Every structure is written in structure tokens, then in C-alpha cells.
Structure 1
Amino acid sequence: MSQPPGPLRPEQQHELVRQIGAVLTGQVPPGWRQLRVEYRAAGRHIEADLLVTAPDGLPRTLPPHPEAVRLLGVLRAGMYQPGLGTWLTAVLVVDPGQPPEVDFGRPDLEPPFRRPPPPIGFQDELRFFPRAEERIPGWLRERAGLPSPPPPPPPIPDGPVHTPRIHDGLDASGRPLIRRQPLVPAEIERVLAYLDGAPVILASRSNGTDAFAPDRTDAVPMNFRTDGAWAWPGAVAYYLREHGVPPDPELVAHIRARRFVPPSEVTAEATVLALAAITGERPQTTV
């Protein structure tokens, strides 16, 4: 599907509307009282109807000139806004001696298609004119066969920041003990994505020794991440990935409650509290 090289400026949009009106008036005989063209589109599916009010005052339906239909498509593509999409229906009215007037349909309302497009038409619409998830109206999501958007994760509660237990103690030889239920296999990658996706608040250039494989002396990341409620060292994700060691059960429960969606950032206040939880120092306050 061809599109203009970039978004149309307002004056370019007005010029296109003028050109469409000129093409339409050129295809009808003299004496007409009003022209009204309705344009509906989704992906490659296009419908266009021209209603001509004749000199006797009676409306008649004609197929609009192909050039007018093409220009309406150019106008639609040129009015695309990244993340917001573009209009799917427009009504252009021309009265004798007056400039054309155009009304674009609301994006949250489904156009009144004569012949509703198949799902691929609406899928093409979202591929040609991508929209942010929150900008896809329910009717379009349903017509395109898309799943419902996941509900937002619950907010991170206020309060002290928790730190996880890396293991559950040591045996007689000093090796770490693990007394935890293993993760469900389908959850492992989602938990790892959460652990690795939260913001880093403290990091070292060097790595530490692997407690489960002491010969690996430069393996465990020496960094800390936080989601505002918990702060954990890089060892948590490392041991899960390398040795299948499940994280602290309370941290796992927290990650599940968050629907495995880590925050992209945390507030400065949350960072201060997380650092205090890691270092054991009292957080500094400013006035």
C-alpha cells in the first residue's frame, strides 16, 4: 500500500480536499444542488458512495470518480499520526460556489460498512497505520481478532523495601542449601525477564564467585535491581538461570502478583529506600 513520504501539513490537507471537490464537480452535469461523498476504509478494503442532489431536488447515487477515491486515500494516509492511527471514514460535502467541507468519523466508532471487511482487512489497517495498544478501540480489536489487552499490573505498595534470601542456609561443608519448591517450567523465563527487567540501582564492574560452583570465581553479577517494593542482587537471576535455584518464595509471589511486569523506572524516593535496604543504612532525608 503506497503512502506519502511524510505527514501532510494542514495546507496540504486543505489543497487535497479542494482537489477532491473539483474532481467530483467535474463528473456531474450542471445544475446540481449538492454533492456528498462517503468514504470508508480498513486496510485495503475501500468503499465510496457519491450522492448527487439533482436540479429537481431528488438525490441520485453515482460511483465517485476513481481519482477522487484515490485522493481520499492519499488524504487518509497523509493524516496518519504515529501511535494514534488515522481516520477510517470521512464525509465530504460540496455546495455550489462553496469550498468543500469534510467531516472525519470518530476512531472509537465502527464505520458503517456496506460489506464489512474480513479480519485481515482490520489487521492490515493496524499494520499500515500502527496504533499504540491503548489507542486501539474495542470494536477494532474485536474485528481484527486481537486478544483483549492485559490489565495493568497492580501498583507497587508503599512501605519498606524487602530483600530476598539467596539460599536457605549452609550445610556442614559450607555449601548453600535450598529448601524451596521449584518453579513451574513455564514461569522460569517470565520470572527471569522480571528480575532482569527492573532498574539497576547499584552496580560493580567486577563479578563474584559462584557459591554453587566455586571454581567460577568471576561469574555472579555484582549489581542490584529494584521494583520499589523489593531490591535483589544479580545473583538471584544468575542462580535461577545457571543452577535452577528458585528465588525467595515471597519474591516469587510478589512477581506473580505483578503479573510478571516489571516497572521501567522507579521514583527517587523508592531508590533511596531500596539502597538503604541493601546497605543496611538509614535513608537520608532532605528538607
Structure 2
Amino acid sequence: MSSEGLNSPGELEVVNSLVTLLHHYLPSDWTILVQKYRALGQHSQTPAMVWGLDNQMRAWRPPAAATALFDRLRQISARPGRGAWLSMDLTLRFPEAYEIAYFWDEDAGWGRYTPGSEAFRQELERFPRDSAHIPDWFQAGLDSNERPPTSLGERFRMARPVDQWQPGRPPVVNRNPLPAGLRQPVLDYLESAPICYSQDGMMPDLFDPDFPNGPACIPHAWHTDGTWIWPAQVPFFLRNHNVSPEADLVTHISFNNYELPTVDQATLEAAEARVPGLRAAKRQSN
């Protein structure tokens, strides 16, 4: 066991409760768990990966009760003027060893999905930091005045089904395959996301040697989770050709713990307006 960074009996007690909880829910064949937790204001994420006896890595979802323990740990370890740590790594090794590391000032890995400036303000209200302990990336978040975009369409990223394609040539894909344990959770996420636009008819498969004269087998549809938009080709190519989605999209799905957020009607309509070619088609029809 490593208790580096644990500064009080209260912290150690919470960590032990957390480790016990995770042990209870881990699959019976686990050997290593890498559990991450990141928090900013009211936002938090708990991505985790577990290795089994077969040495295969797969995604894992901690029990909901773990989030409360992570948050309690932040509260106990917070320091006046220093704030609370912003992310942590907890590694469990079968049967009882664990290592824990806190990250107080580093960007927690939100990347382009960093919450808006309100989350930074919430963080400082709850865990005040002196100016000397506000890193540049945190200050930039405070100063961003980020808000739900005036135009909802500003928020979206478009997923490419392949990296490059030219008529008469096979599609080009330069992506690492998904680990076996991630393939199904990612597929479920991609295929279950609400459809923001669809039209009659089917599309042929780019990977079919007879393309474009092969059978039309892919729905002419686009999905969204409120942040990304992807064509039905993305899950189809993953399911049928083991073509991974873009790495940023996979990371985003992992940050969401492979659970789709609620997408309201306004967001669906904004996503529909971003579907490539749709606006041009509408202008021509008018």
C-alpha cells in the first residue's frame, strides 16, 4: 500500500472505504484497476480500466457510491488557500495493494471538454485558492466567459468515419484498434445515441470491393450526444470492419463513462442543422 499524499487519519479512512467498495464490485478475474477521478465545480468524471487474468484491458464503471467517497476525500484533503486537488489516480493491484496520487494544479485532462467558466467559479467558491495557487490553465478557464453557446451549433464536433477517401480508391484509416473490452461499450454508445437527422434509403459500404455498386446497407442517418455528431457509418464500420472511431471521440465516450447524456429537442435541432450538406440541400429545395 502507498498512502503518499494522505495527510490525516480521516483521509486514510475514506480511502480504505473507497478501496473496500471498489473491491466488492470488481469482476472476479481482476488483476489491476486504474481508477481516475477528476472534478471541477459540480462536474466530475470517473473513467476506469480493469485488467483481467487474460491480460486484456476493458472499461469498467465504478459503483455510484464511489463518487460520494471521492468527493468526501476532496473535502477532507482541501487546504485553506490551496483549494482541493483536481484529479486523482487510484491503482489497485490484486489482492490488496493500492497506490494513490493527487494532482492539485495539473490540468485534469478534460481537454476540449473542459466545463465552462461557471464550473471554475463553483470550484473556487467551494474550495478557495489564493492567486499563487491558481495555475494558468485554471485562470484561462475563469476568464473564458464560456457559456452554453449563443448558437448551439458552436458546441459540436463532427466525426469522420474514415481518415481519407477518394472516389475509385479504398478508404484510408490510420487508427489503432479498440481494446477488446472497449469495443462493445463504444458500440452501444454510438448506436444508441439519438438520431438528429435521417432520410429514406441506405448507403453502400465504402469497404465493399464493389463500392459504389455493392448493396446499400448503411442507414442514411446521423447521431449526436450533444457534443459530437457522427454518421451511421461510424458504428457500422466498427461493428463490421473493426474500424475504430476517431481517438478524440473514443476519449470523449470514456469521459462520459460510456453513458449517453440526455439530449433535449433544441440540441437535436441544432445538431440537425450541422449535418454536412443538409443546409445546402434545404436552400436548393427552397
* Bucket of the pairwise TM-score, normalised by the shorter protein: 0.3 to 0.5
| Structure with the higher helix share, 1 or 2 | 2
Normalised TM-score (structure 1): 0.46
Which structure would you say has the larger Rg? 1
